[in-house]
Amino acid sequence: MHFCPGAQLSRLEAGLALKEITERFPNLRLVSEPERIEPFLPWGRRKFPVAWD
């Protein structure tokens, strides 16, 4: 089975980044459906359109 030693670090970094974004932009909202990157795993996004007031 494949094991990526950087996976846990990546999850930690992503969590910290998302926390910081939501704190700095509390009114951030999704304006339309995100576009997936094919055939990447379910988490890959080509477009993630957001706006804030």
pLDDT in tens, 3-46: 788 888 988 999 999 999 999 999 999 999 998 888 766 667 88
Give the residue, 46 or 49, on which the prediction is more confident: 49
Q: Report how far Cα 37 is from the mean position of its chain's Cα atoms.
A: 13
d(CA 46, CA 34): 8
pLDDT on residue 27? 95
pLDDT on residue 41? 62
